[in-house]
Amino acid sequence: MKNKLQILTFMLVFMSNFSFGQSIVPEKVYSIVKTRKDHQWYVDQHTAWGKILEKDKKNPAAWESYYAATRMAKITSSTDEELEKWFEKTNEVIAKMEVQIPNTYEYYHLKCWHSNFWGMEEKAKQDEFISWAQKAYKLDPNRTEIYPDLMNVSMFTNDIITRKELAKKWLASGDLSPTVLSLCYNLLISVEENGVLITCGDNDTYPCLVLQAALNFRSDVSVANVYCAKFSMDYRKHFFEKTGIPKTSEVFQDDIAFVNYIVNNAGDKPVYFSFIDFLSSDENLTASLYNVGLAYKYSSEDFNNTSALINNFENKFVLDQLKYTLYKESFPESINNYKMAYVPGLVQLYGHYKITEETKKLNEVKELIVSIVTGTEYEQIILEQLN
């Protein structure tokens, strides 16, 4: 019995040591725009890539994932104190990288990523950022990581020619998700002629600009990212010139202030929004928004959006990416979140077909809704609405 206990104890100790001795396998770290992990995963990857760099300080790919893990750990922090800690760590990573891999593609890319271009007020700093983006592109014009920064530069300078060249290259690269491209196609086609589309993120802004510049699709629509517009007077200037909305020197304190200025000064120009979560704190604004299938139309007067819903879903929208799996997405979890954007409009359309007793269309819409929500946290609540 004693020997058996000794053996058992040895095994438990061995297993415990083996478990604690396991190191986290370093994996390529992406921005949460592409795929989102939990905070601890980013912390672990920060540690894992840090160990790689202890042995190989000149490894550019390791520096990219090391910085990305640090940055995403900051973004996913649950407290202000934790966020500040990881913010300081991102500064430390950049400082170390500048010593180890200067003048590389990764160096210029990470310098751009780390810098808040839209918050820069000094021209010297803006010019420095632009030079980093251009140097990265010159070193390797086929790598897409720097394309968002180059697109930012074209938005800031209103360089239409450069934007068109970049958009064609970005579209041809295959880097942009077909599902997101289809979503942005549907957003643009939702907007009335010469209308305004207010966007709020990467995946509802860059693909729209790419479609407009590369394919000349719905170039009449003025796309304005609310975050960029809030911070940059130059960006707002170009936007106001295109739309005819009166220019202003007003300093917008937040997203809502900019949005209110647009809807109050747009005149007869129709205004639409891609996503509206960021507007939830303003009841007057949200009460004036009408879902037309994917985008939300602003109207200060009552607007019957049913006909727009029907027309968009039945005649305008590209929906194959929702109905069929025709291609493999690189980041399917994130893509499923974007598919959810169609659900509010589809549910309203379902209600209309139920009232009008259009059974075939009713079943088709229900099947589409079920395919989107199945396996999501919203599955139960959405399915209950369909009964």
The string of pLDDT tens digits covering residues 134-186 is 999 999 999 999 999 999 999 999 999 999 999 999 999 999 999 999 999 99
In this model, does residue 372 exceed pLDDT 80? yes
CA distances from 154 to 150, 160, 210 (A): 6, 7, 12
**Between 385 and 77, residue with greater pLDDT:** 77
Partnered with residue 273 across adjacent β-strands are 198, 296
Q: How many residues does the chain have?
A: 387
What does the pLDDT read at residue 329?
86
What does the pLDDT read at residue 134?
97
Q: Which of 194, 192, 183 is nearest to 219 (CA)?
A: 194
What does the pLDDT read at residue 82?
96
> Please, which pLDDT band fits residue 22 given cuts at 50, 70 and 90?
low
What does the pLDDT read at residue 178?
93
Q: Which of 384, 370, 305 is nearest to 342 (CA)?
A: 370
In this model, does residue 348 exceed pLDDT 90? yes
> Please, which pLDDT band fits residue 2 given cuts at 50, 70 and 90?
very low
What does the pLDDT read at residue 239?
94
Q: What is the mean pLDDT of the chain?
A: 91
What does the pLDDT read at residue 280?
87
> Please, which pLDDT band fits residue 250 given cuts at 50, 70 and 90?
confident
CA distances from 224 to 3, 156, 200, 237 (A): 75, 11, 8, 11
Amino acid at 242: K
What does the pLDDT read at residue 97?
96
Cα distance between the two ends of the chain: 64
In this model, does residue 10 exceed pLDDT 60? no
Per cent of the chain over pLDDT 90 is 78
Number of H helices, E strands in the chain: 20, 5
Rounded-to-integer distance, Cα 35 and Cα 331, Å: 6
What does the pLDDT read at residue 96?
97
In this model, does residue 343 exceed pLDDT 90? yes
What does the pLDDT read at residue 225?
95
> Please, which pLDDT band fits residue 5 given cuts at 50, 70 and 90?
very low
Residue reference for tokens 């975050």: 227
Average pLDDT over residues 58-84: 97
H or E segment and range at residue 137? helix 123-139
Amino acid at 365: V
Would you call 190 exposed, middle or buried from its count of C-beta atoms within 10 A (0-12, 13-18, 19+)? buried
What does the pLDDT read at residue 385?
87
What does the pLDDT read at residue 118?
87
Amino acid at 205: T
In this model, does residue 133 exceed pLDDT 60? yes
Look at 203-217, 240-254, 321-335 and tell me which has the smallest mean pLDDT.
Answer: 321-335
Residue reference for tokens 């946290």: 377
290 conformational bin, left if phi > 0, alpha if psi -120 to 50, beta if neither? beta
Average pLDDT over residues 225-233: 90
